[in-house]
Amino acid sequence: MINKLVSKIQKTNAPIVVGLDPMLHYIPKHIKEKAYAEFGETLEGAAEAIWQYNKAVVDATYDLIPAVKPQIAMYEQFGVAGVKAFQKTIDYCHEKDLVVIGDVKRGDIGSTSEAYAVGHLGKVQIGSKSYAAFNEDFATVNPYLGTDGIKPFVDVCKEEKKGIFILVKTSNPSSGEFQDRIIDGRPLYEWVGEKVAQWGAECMGDSYSYVGAVVGATYPKMGKILRDIMPKSYILVPGYGAQGGQGKDLVHFFNKDGLGAIVNSSRGIIAAYKQDKYKEMGITEENFADASRQAVLDMVDDIAGALGTK
């Protein structure tokens, strides 16, 4: 799947991923009204609204992008109905041949991590049959529990040719509280990065590993160091746009081959219609997906400008 991700990035010339994080207040009124008219102001109504919203964004952008990254928290908040919408979104994105990165940040020990790995990336055995449940292509994973928590994911990745992105240095302001603490002269995130490189060496695709890392766009200097520590790991870069990361900050996350990083934007694309910039182009709330398409083009352009590949 890392090979597919790389080849799709090359084909679209867009090292970006659209974060499908449908907060209710992002969703245009007409979509919510229609969903509530059908299902009421219920968990099912909200789930229908986020699904219709996602579908419209995907329809407007899928030919421009290699991948999407649904954030499962935004679905779990609506309980079982929300999780159903998560599944529906994954299945639809697969129909559109998009690579799906499940932003689930799971991580536990032994058999429990195995159950997560199986449920999100692998196949579960039920009697004589086996099923892929959520069936994402990649999942994000938390490293706090060490190798025991990661190994079951790596095993499933090898078997299914799927991948993971391990949290190394997250984009949020307080990420340094533990991640930046100095251990034997180096910050914790570097030690985690070293481990990512080790875990990743075990399962290589053609040029990059199935095991990638998450490093926030908001920390470009650390990105540069981590790029060197994990040369064969793809870096999933959140924090661009709404969180403050800019095109010029992204250069360090890429390798000299122009590959090695995929930059996420969520709000900046799926709720682009709320920005003055797109309103001034005459895009209305009803045509919100047009703003999403334009925002993808603008983001690709911003990154290409920064990388000097325009």
301 contacts: CB under 8 Å, gap ≥ 6: 310
C-beta of residue 24 within 8 angstroms of C-beta of residue 271: no
Q: How is residue 141 written in tokens? A: 């994973």
Binding of a copy of itself at residue 119 (CB under 8 A)? Answer: yes
Binding of a copy of itself at residue 218 (CB under 8 A)? Answer: no
Q: Report the site for a copy of itself in 174-193 (rule: CB under 8 A).
A: 174-179, 181-184, 188, 191-192
Comparing CA positions, the residue from 11, 88, 26, 3 lying closest to residue 265 is: 26
C-beta of residue 64 within 8 angstroms of C-beta of residue 300: yes
> Residue from 13, 63, 73, 201 that binds a copy of itself (CB under 8 A)?
73
CA angle 146, 147, 150 (to 5 degrees): 100
Candidate segments 115-123, 223-231, 247-255, 275-283, binder of a copy of itself by CB under 8 A: 115-123
Binding of a copy of itself at residue 194 (CB under 8 A)? Answer: no
Give me the least distance between CB of 297 and a copy of itself, in Å please.
26
Site string for a copy of itself, 126-165 (x = CB under 8 A): xxxx-x-xx-------xxxxxxxx----------------
Active site residues: 105
Binding of a copy of itself at residue 305 (CB under 8 A)? Answer: no
Q: How far apart are CA 4 and CA 16, in angstroms?
A: 14
Comparing CA positions, the residue from 194, 204, 107, 89 lying closest to residue 150 is: 107
Q: Residue 309, exposed/middle/buried by CB under 10 A (0-12, 13-18, 19+)?
A: exposed
Q: How far apart are CA 41 and CA 287, in angstroms?
A: 24
CB nearer a copy of itself, residue 41 or residue 301 = 41
CB nearer a copy of itself, residue 124 or residue 201 = 124
> Residue from 64, 115, 251, 304 that binds a copy of itself (CB under 8 A)?
115
Candidate segments 9-17, 73-81, 257-265, 276-284, binder of a copy of itself by CB under 8 A: 73-81
Q: Report the site for a copy of itself in 261-290 (rule: CB under 8 A).
A: none
Comparing CA positions, the residue from 82, 113, 102 lying closest to residue 17 is: 102
Q: Report the site for a copy of itself in 74-93 (rule: CB under 8 A).
A: 74, 76-80, 82-84, 87
- The CA radius of gyration of the chain, in Å to the nearest whole number, is 19
Site string for a copy of itself, 30-69 (x = CB under 8 A): --x---x----xxx-xx-----------------------
Q: Report the site for a copy of itself in 7-36 (rule: CB under 8 A).
A: 21, 23-24, 32, 36
Give me the least distance between CB of 216 and a copy of itself, in Å please.
9
Candidate segments 107-115, 227-235, 278-286, 289-297, binder of a copy of itself by CB under 8 A: 107-115
> What's phi and psi for 202, nearest 5 deg?
-70, -20
CB nearer a copy of itself, residue 124 or residue 297 = 124
Count of Cβ atoms closer than 10 Å to residue 193 Cβ: 27
Give me the least distance between CB of 305 and a copy of itself, in Å please.
27
Comparing CA positions, the residue from 266, 273, 263, 252 lying closest to residue 302 is: 263
Binding of a copy of itself at residue 71 (CB under 8 A)? Answer: yes
Q: How is residue 164 written in tokens? A: 């993971």
Amino acid at 198: Q
C-beta of residue 10 within 8 angstroms of C-beta of residue 267: no
Per rule CB under 8 A, count of chain residues that contact a copy of itself: 72
